[in-house]
Structure 1
């Protein structure tokens, strides 16, 4: 003890002599130096205030400074020194308390872990007795003592995936969030808790703090207005959200910042949506909102946490895939905003959604509807809505992009009617029930044909699919008409019915119908061609005011030969459609015009003999074909302010111009470089076609040809 005290005394005297050698001006505090006054320093305490500051009751810079070397001990102020000393004092206090607790429970001091700094980070380290180098014989002979975080037990550990099993045994808590349990695949329906994937309340998702409200891009009122726009206009078209429980923007933001940002991006896309508005519909800060959405997706894909493995993440990915953001050009640019939607982007986002859904066991939601309806919870309904929407998106890509399907729709189809008739069901759930049965028809046709991507479809499978679609139409028309649904024929799932009919039958027509080469002629009376023509015409006609007042079962050829006018209610709903609907309706228009130019139909959509030469005279204005094409052009013209519609509007506009352009008597065989409708169709159907390309850059020169008189918009309902 005497030697230690003597050493401390020598060290103190050495430090004081060293300080005395420093010039007086270098030892002045900042306050005295600014006043150019002599500063009286306490040589024994470098952090004590000087006498002048102490007498004036002012803060002295010496109190927050730290010695930084032999020649400049008070070079600058260090504001963190006081916090550092306080932290070290608190750590010492906690260490003493830990030692007292260990002594009380009988743990030896050598077994207690200590904290040591590693690259500035304090981590649990080895015990003090194990601080010897690992190369020494003592550490090689003696096992290092450990203190587990909890008592090790294998009770309750299920044999799941290797990583999940080992993580459970190791009690790792990645990112300080509770990990979901290892879930068995497809448990029996008797499982009392079919899913339990909700994270702990303290869990923080990867998109935390990245939403536009946290970044001061929008206000709380604007966020709620965007939610109202989405739920009033977009939600009925793809009702994967819960209308009664997820409409509050502030509450949903705390649950899932990613889903909150996705809904805000959709609402900002239709911010100025008015029927007579010709200005951009986008929110003034739409680019900033989309930037934050991109940041949320980057964090979700690159830095996911266990808090992201929830139903809200799947909902956000599905909403993104169906209403993709727009790329807004720089100020002063003449180009229009361009949609990100194409087959690759949709395939990618839906693929991520499928992965997330399978990770949380979303496919098991169907088991909840196998028992009594009273046992179905609101959470069961929420999960079933999301699962059906995911399955429908997966199968919609089969017909729009010829990409293989992934999910099995039949478990959901078996309980679809129980889901739609449940007392907790929302009005849109019955539509999902009908959509489930439609999806099963498409899946069955693909499986029977042996091609999951439906690139080819044999006659037997097509005949069975058409028969099933007709039966579905007759059954569900009665269901919806007796349930009091207004204008159900223009809404989902009947919009999907028409597209499925067109998509399936177009596949079976084969490349011979589209090529126009003499060696690949169509059959004289192809049932697939007849069904395709009727389906394409019905897709366009259902948006007319005449269709709203027509009796059920009336055929198109029985309509009066008057111009078709746009139905305002149908148009108000159509302008908020998912991105894929713009593709399907533009495709239907081009298909009808192409069939006429190839000589497959006449101007009233009647099938004509394949041996007859194609019509070289434009259709009459009063013909059914002309009225349908002009109706399609009017529909896209009234949505011109909407950026995605502007691209497809050019396709429909060019198709109408080409259709009414007089044809030469002898037309040279087309090789893909002509200016007819077939060349537009080839561009649309070409694999890898980028739907986001600017249509004004197409070659073909459709701008200076005579067109039929446009049909004015009629506001009568």
Structure 2
């Protein structure tokens, strides 16, 4: 057995488990923790290596912890509860050592201060440099401890604020706080004790979090009556739009809080988003909404970057789904205005995280196996199955919208779907959720990218069967509030996005046939459903009123709808307006390939196209406050489309079947008029879609790429 020198305890052999945060290079090979050895990538890039700062931190430097635990000159067994005078007396000799060492050249340090080492002739100079660097680190440690002794002598230990170690703080911020405000003890801090402080704040990636804001709300939950309305507002108004939570189980918000902080914060953030919706004020957000969002962001970042074993649960997937469907609002730094974070890429990121967590938890396989024997299925297994149903449906929903392939396979869940619907823990919304899942299964056959007109026709027939089965399965059972709108919202949107996916990938010659007629029909049905129902005329035939008014029941639903539903309304209007501009139909929604002899309005302001787009804009305007709602992003876009239509008194079209194009006559709006009517956001959207309002070719190239 080989012998080891006393210095072997200071120099354990092996690579460190900590890498440079600049280049991820593990420069530490052996011989101690030192900033003298530079990692080559940082040297080449001429950047400061992270080890230069972390060498002074005992949390990252294990050799500082080893030396502190065995050095009698540093650790004397003295507790910080001693009197300040005794602390200064114990540290006086430390200052004497520091003064003597500072007056001595580091190269001429006495050997009594250097640890013993056994080095060879060739490596002796390198080892000596290593010992010098270790000595400098020891000097810095002595100076820091002497500063602590002086602080204790002045009595500031009794007046300094206690440092709260919060899981929502980043390590760099915690390090800065500890260096600027050293605390002698590290006892657990009760958050209730600091929630009343107005001067202390916790760090967050988006800015400081005042402890008087969200932490007071979270930790005084059972005392704050207003906070109890958060989950009530969500489950009564928002949950029917995304019914994947268990109302009977998750409505007990205290259980949710104990199980998952992320899901708890997600529900609170959505509830605070519609805090004063009943009063119809200018802003519905809770006064503490911004602080609550920062707390949610910090927890979401922690779960994503540093997950704990407790995060391996169903609630994490559910929280990510909530974040994907109701993205938070951010306040501007200069003006007190709120803007939504919603974007297609942001929704895909949250959905992708939810899919990764569901895959790591093997939810799909567990759902399939749990319902092989339905009589033994527990409530937790029903919750897993319901969440996976909605996750698979959302995957296909966004895949059709963004023209991307879906990720999840619905086949395993489809085999156990009927068993799930006959279970003991079925909710009223599960029938509608199952219908949506069946539509996703029908779209999965072509990978959400149909290539033939026959596939579009077959998909339409499948959706019609699903719709009839859904309406017949309701019967006398208690239904949810969205059942009556379901055929004209989600089902019509699936058809429209499916046929637009076909028009996007097909040949130009096939874009003026039956597929275009279906797209115009389904887009107009989505918009027409926003208006009040038509009453039959005297002869029993329903007439479309001259002025379409928003339906109050639709307005209530749209106020709490998921973010993507506003994209559905804007996209349906965009399809119709673009088809009109590309001269594929007139402004009464009549395709040129099959014009009827029915006499309709020949004025732009009285056309069906204008009335549908105008009622869509008015519906979003009535369903949202003037500030702090995503619908307000699309209101000027829809008004711009309506203004574009009404700016033309007559539509000049060439009805030649061989060549269809727009004539640049004086009746068509100029580019300056279009820009003034559309506004900056819509004009940018049209330009990104490849639209040319003046000379538009006889096709819809680039129209459905948004």
TM-score using structure 2 length = 0.61
Return closer, same or farther for 1:396/1:373 CA change in 2, 3 Å cut-off: same
Deviation at 1:360, TM superposition (A): 0.8
Q: Distance in 1 between matches of 2:380 and 2:246?
A: 10
Higher alpha-carbon deviation: 317-326 or 480-489: 480-489
RMSD value over aligned CA atoms? 4.3
Q: Distance in 1 between matches of 2:305 and 2:585?
A: 53
Deviation at 1:494, TM superposition (A): 5.4
2:294 is aligned with 1:294: no
> Deviation per CA, 1:68-121, whole angstroms, max 9, x where unpaired?
244989x9xxxxxxxxxxxxxxxxxxxxxxxxxxxxxxxxxxxxxxxxxxxxxx
Deviation at 1:227, TM superposition (A): 1.1
Return closer, same or farther for 1:664/1:232 CA change in 2, 3 Å cut-off: closer
Return closer, same or farther for 1:602/1:65 CA change in 2, 3 Å cut-off: same
Return closer, same or farther for 1:532/1:72 CA change in 2, 3 Å cut-off: closer
- Give 2:276's aligned residue: 272
Return closer, same or farther for 1:211/1:267 CA change in 2, 3 Å cut-off: farther
2:664 is aligned with 1:667: yes
The structure 2 residue matched to 1:646, chosen from 616, 632, 637, is: 632
Return closer, same or farther for 1:629/1:550 CA change in 2, 3 Å cut-off: farther
Return closer, same or farther for 1:71/1:438 CA change in 2, 3 Å cut-off: closer
Deviation at 1:314, TM superposition (A): 0.6
Return closer, same or farther for 1:488/1:253 CA change in 2, 3 Å cut-off: closer
CA contact (8 A) 1:594 1:681 kept: no
Return closer, same or farther for 1:382/1:491 CA change in 2, 3 Å cut-off: farther
The structure 2 residue matched to 1:245, chosen from 244, 249, 256, is: 249
Deviation at 1:213, TM superposition (A): 7.6
Deviation at 1:465, TM superposition (A): 1.2
- Give 2:417's aligned residue: 416
Deviation at 1:279, TM superposition (A): 0.9
CA contact (8 A) 2:432 2:483 kept: no
Deviation at 1:278, TM superposition (A): 4.2
Structure 1 unaligned segments of length 5 or more: list them: 1-45, 49-58, 76-131, 136-206, 447-451, 514-519, 690-698, 701-717
2:444 is aligned with 1:443: yes
- Give 1:338's aligned residue: 339
Note the 1:200-239 alignment, pairs <5 A.
215-216=215-216, 219-220=220-221, 221-239=225-243
Deviation at 1:293, TM superposition (A): 1.0
CA contact (8 A) 2:371 2:420 kept: no
Deviation at 1:340, TM superposition (A): 0.9
Deviation at 1:565, TM superposition (A): 2.3
Deviation at 1:674, TM superposition (A): 8.3
Return closer, same or farther for 1:618/1:522 CA change in 2, 3 Å cut-off: farther
User: 1:507 aligns to what SS in structure 2?
Assistant: helix
> Deviation per CA, 1:631-685, whole angstroms, max 9, x where unpaired?
2121012134152111111111101111111168541799999838999888547
CA contact (8 A) 1:227 1:249 kept: yes
Q: Distance in 1 between matches of 2:255 and 2:432?
A: 28
- Give 1:356's aligned residue: 357
CA contact (8 A) 1:457 1:508 kept: yes
> Deviation per CA, 1:469-525, whole angstroms, max 9, x where unpaired?
222222222223554537655444752211011001112223799xxxxxx56655x
> Deviation per CA, 1:342-374, whole angstroms, max 9, x where unpaired?
111111111111110111111124325643432
Q: Distance in 2 between matches of 1:562 and 1:297?
A: 50
Return closer, same or farther for 1:68/1:484 CA change in 2, 3 Å cut-off: closer
Note the 1:178-577 alignment, pairs <5 A.
215-216=215-216, 219-220=220-221, 221-274=225-278, 277-330=280-333, 332-333=335-336, 336-368=337-369, 370-446=371-447, 454=449, 457-481=451-475, 483=477, 485=479, 488-492=482-486, 495-510=489-504, 520=508, 526-546=513-533, 558-577=542-561
Return closer, same or farther for 1:410/1:557 CA change in 2, 3 Å cut-off: farther
CA contact (8 A) 2:558 2:620 kept: no
Which protein has the larger Cα radius of gyration, Structure 1 or Structure 2?
Answer: 1
Return closer, same or farther for 1:370/1:72 CA change in 2, 3 Å cut-off: closer
CA contact (8 A) 1:210 1:295 kept: no
Structure 2 unaligned segments of length 5 or more: list them: 1-75, 99-115, 120-203, 653-662, 694-706
CA contact (8 A) 2:605 2:646 kept: no
- Give 2:618's aligned residue: 634
Return closer, same or farther for 1:328/1:540 CA change in 2, 3 Å cut-off: same
> Deviation per CA, 1:122-150, whole angstroms, max 9, x where unpaired?
xxxxxxxxxx9999xxxxxxxxxxxxxxx
The structure 1 residue matched to 2:585, chosen from 592, 601, 608, is: 601
Number of positions where the alignment pairs a residue of Structure 1 with one of Structure 2: 486
TM-score using structure 1 length = 0.60
User: 2:590 aligns to what SS in structure 1?
Assistant: coil
- Give 1:171's aligned residue: none
Q: Distance in 1 between matches of 2:77 and 2:606?
A: 97
Deviation at 1:610, TM superposition (A): 8.5
Deviation at 1:622, TM superposition (A): 5.0
CA contact (8 A) 1:211 1:260 kept: no
Return closer, same or farther for 1:564/1:419 CA change in 2, 3 Å cut-off: farther
User: 1:301 aligns to what SS in structure 2?
Assistant: helix
Deviation at 1:563, TM superposition (A): 3.0
Q: Distance in 1 between matches of 2:313 and 2:563?
A: 25
CA contact (8 A) 1:327 1:340 kept: yes
Return closer, same or farther for 1:370/1:536 CA change in 2, 3 Å cut-off: same
> Deviation per CA, 1:362-393, whole angstroms, max 9, x where unpaired?
11243256434322210011111111121122
User: 2:230 aligns to what SS in structure 1?
Assistant: helix
Return closer, same or farther for 1:388/1:682 CA change in 2, 3 Å cut-off: farther
> Deviation per CA, 1:125-182, whole angstroms, max 9, x where unpaired?
xxxxxxx9999xxxxxxxxxxxxxxxxxxxxxxxxxxxxxxxxxxxxxxxxxxxxxxx
> Deviation per CA, 1:394-425, whole angstroms, max 9, x where unpaired?
11111221122100012222322332332211
Deviation at 1:606, TM superposition (A): 2.7
Deviation at 1:611, TM superposition (A): 11
Return closer, same or farther for 1:473/1:299 CA change in 2, 3 Å cut-off: same
Return closer, same or farther for 1:327/1:259 CA change in 2, 3 Å cut-off: same
Q: Distance in 2 between matches of 1:635 and 1:391?
A: 30
- Give 2:162's aligned residue: none
